[in-house]
Structure 1
């Protein structure tokens, strides 16, 4: 197990230090991971100089505690989520290595909820809502990856209208 961990760390370090051309890294596809709310796989498609679509697939409800009040009851577990945003982004530096972005979209969640009417038993709940996000993305010069930091909010429409949740995250994407 220890050798596998060390091998994985060495592969990651060599990948991060591999040189690549810096030409328009943000005009391509990017795949990586996001740690936060939600956490999971992140896929981004850049369109032209200032648009992108961002997709997160992973877990929801773990960062801010798995036990929260939800409608007429609670949720106590982490759930599955799919979140998508259409983004507008712009360069903050002349070299375009630092970009700011914001966007709007939606989120679908599936998690176990514990309504009061079920006396401690759970039900699987599919929820749907809108979300917004804003963040910063850093493209190191001559590297094929980027780092990002973002924050936003999710407001549920179905099952528990106006349930509000903060969405924050940091991550790493490989740009190709």
Structure 2
């Protein structure tokens, strides 16, 4: 009788041990799945598109971006940018690069931003005397503020690294429209 009790107790412990581990494994898998899907619930995609066409002039810009919302007040993300500008018989430029962006919303309607942008510039000036080509990196650090309504923010930003020479932006202040879905 004693031998059967020990055997039954051993089987019972083995049964509890095996099913206890199995349920713990499933609990960890469910937690990991929940965490993974929760990440994408905080991600927003957006960016900007630009098109300017005139007599002998074209300006085409594509700038996708994505941000992660840490909470209702703080977001951060990455962006890419490509810009092509051509003025017939005068100017031709290709600009591409990326950016890091941080957004702070102290209350719903106000969005404060900081954006570090690094662009590779390849441009050519053409005239009847000579052609001049330039290839360089342009770094900009924008600090801005805007009015936010749902997914759209309208505002102005200031490039604190702006220089009049060797810069692709004519002015340090720039208006912006930011859209995230």
Residue 170 of structure 1 corresponds to: 175
Is 1:88–2:102 an aligned residue pair? yes
3-state DSSP of counterpart to 1:163? coil
Structure with larger Rg: 2
Structure 1 length-normalised TM: 0.53
The structure with the greater share of residues assigned to helix is 2
Task: Supply the distance in 2 between the matched residues of 1:39 and 1:169 (Cα, whole angstroms).
Answer: 17
Larger RCO (CA under 8 A, 6+ residues apart): 1
Residue 72 of structure 1 corresponds to: none
Structure 2 length-normalised TM: 0.52
Residue 43 of structure 1 corresponds to: 64
Residue 132 of structure 1 corresponds to: 141
Tell me how far 1:139 sits from its aligned partner: 2.5
Question: Of the candidates 20, 30, 33, which is equivalent to residue 46 of structure 2?
Answer: 30
3-state DSSP of counterpart to 2:91? coil
CA-atom RMSD, angstroms? 3.7
Task: Supply the distance in 2 between the matched residues of 1:86 and 1:133 (Cα, whole angstroms).
Answer: 10
> Is the 8 Å Cα contact of residues 33 and 171 (structure 1) preserved in structure 2?
no
The count of corresponding residues between Structure 1 and Structure 2 is: 126
Query: Structure 1 unaligned runs (5+)?
Result: 1-25, 67-75, 156-161
Tell me how far 1:77 sits from its aligned partner: 1.8
Is 1:53–2:78 an aligned residue pair? yes
> Is the 8 Å Cα contact of residues 107 and 154 (structure 1) preserved in structure 2?
no
